Amino acid sequence: MERTFKKQQRTVGSVVKIPLENGFHGYGRILENDIAFYDFRTTEELNPQEIIQKPILFILCVNDQAITKGYWQKIGKSIPLENHLLSQNLPPVVWVDRFKSGVYRLVHRNVNYTEKDFGELVSRQACVGYECFAVWAAENTEKRLNDYFAQRPNFYEQAKQNPDLYFETQRNNFTSLLK
């Protein structure tokens, strides 16, 4: 089925419907700077109040075009965020220095990312289980959700357990840009 796109505004607290493979869809919730993705998929239409009662699978920073270009349609009215979904209460993300192997920082989501020095320097072991500091494209997020629900391996889930994978990927991507 062909997707239609309807432009819309990014509204904190709104629920978005995310098309997935095999006729399924999932849902996410627009946070202040991120999107929380729920740990379920369905072929049924649910109302936002039902959806926000479901467990959260992960929280990512996704390019605003996923919302503003209408790739993911908002459903229903915006619902005020619960306290645990406010930026200052979300878990930090891992920043891996693409130039220096072994340099890791845990960055809190409510900081000014333009500051020269941000985040707390930590060991590799302290980074295990945290998301990578990145802005995700809609299609990569959908792939990650599809992989999760199909129980397929996914690089980003593997990298949460081995942050050095972030370094290798970032360094390789950056080096290829210089060629």
Q: What is the pLDDT of residues 68-91, one digit of tens each?
A: 999 999 998 999 999 999 988 999
Calpha distance 61→82 (Å, rounded):
18
Calpha distance 75→30 (Å, rounded):
11
Structure tokens at 166: 């972030």
The number of beta carbons lying within 10 Å of the beta carbon of residue 135 is: 11
Give the pLDDT confidence of 123-151 residue by residue, as tens digits: 888 989 999 888 999 999 999 999 999 99
